[in-house]
Amino acid sequence: MAVPYEALAVDYDALLGDHAFARLRRAFERIERHHGLVFRSAADVGCGTGTFVSYLRDRGVHPVWGVDRSPHMLAEALAKNRGNGARFLLQDLRALRLPHRVALLTCQFDTLNYLLAPPDLRTALAAFADALEPEGHAVFDMITQGGEYGGRVRRVRIVRRGPHGTSYETHAQRSYAPAEIAAALAGSGLRLSGAHRVDEPRPEAGSTRMIFLARRAPPRP
């Protein structure tokens, strides 16, 4: 099975990444201000070409880990972050294993929607909790749909047209109903602190992109 963005990693920022980053950075900063987040270390899971990793390093966060399962995207991330001290890992988010825990974990750009089964979402969120320091926070966005739309798998074709022809990739993503997200959080070790809508110019019918803040739950006495 091809790894997502295997063919399009070099062009990802021009096709999608730059536009999406500007919107999600604003959403992240609103959450940061609203909830008073303070963090000195971070990991960006599903880091892609490393734009958010670079943003965190520019803010003085250290260490910052970038994690992705696509070696092609990580190659772009390494080039973008060369010399800034960021560190990168080739891992699947369901089997996330950081060298040490961090205060903040982010997972953006619909990364969790690539998990097509609720058990995989639960596994990923539990791995996020294990990667966080006590009282650490996870910030993640997801495409959500309610009612009959919850659980629908959509296939998105990303097309690149260039002087040497046209190439494309087709990606499968699953929308999650809010109740499914709540069920996945239950028992994961994360406790939901807030959910905020990400503004979009043209959302799909019945869909809402949400950004969630969850805190690592304290251990039971």
Q: Which two tokens stand for residue 68?
A: 């992705």
Domains along the chain? 9-216 (3.40.50.150)
Cα four-point dihedral sign 97, 99, 103, 104: negative
Burial (Cβ within 10 Å: 0-12, 13-18, ≥19) of residue 141: buried
Assess whether pLDDT exceeds 90 at residue 204: no
> DSSP code of 3?
P
217 alpha carbon, distance to own chain's centre: 20
The b-or-e profile of 38-67 (16+ CB within 10 A means b, else e) is ebebbbbbbbbbbbbbbbbbeeebebbbbb
pLDDT tens for 134-145 read: 999 999 999 998
Q: What is the residue whose two structure tokens read 């994360």?
A: 190
When pLDDT is cut at 50, 70 and 90, the band that residue 1 belongs to is: very low
Q: Which two tokens stand for residue 169?
A: 């990739």
Assess whether pLDDT exceeds 70 at residue 17: no
On average, the pLDDT of the chain sits at: 87
Please give the pLDDT value at position 127: 98
Please give the pLDDT value at position 107: 98
pTM for this predicted structure: 0.89
Q: What is the residue whose two structure tokens read 């910030």?
A: 139
Of the candidate ranges 5-9, 36-40, 169-173, the one whose mean pLDDT is the lowest:
5-9
Q: What angle do CA 180, 182, 184 make, to 5 degrees?
A: 70
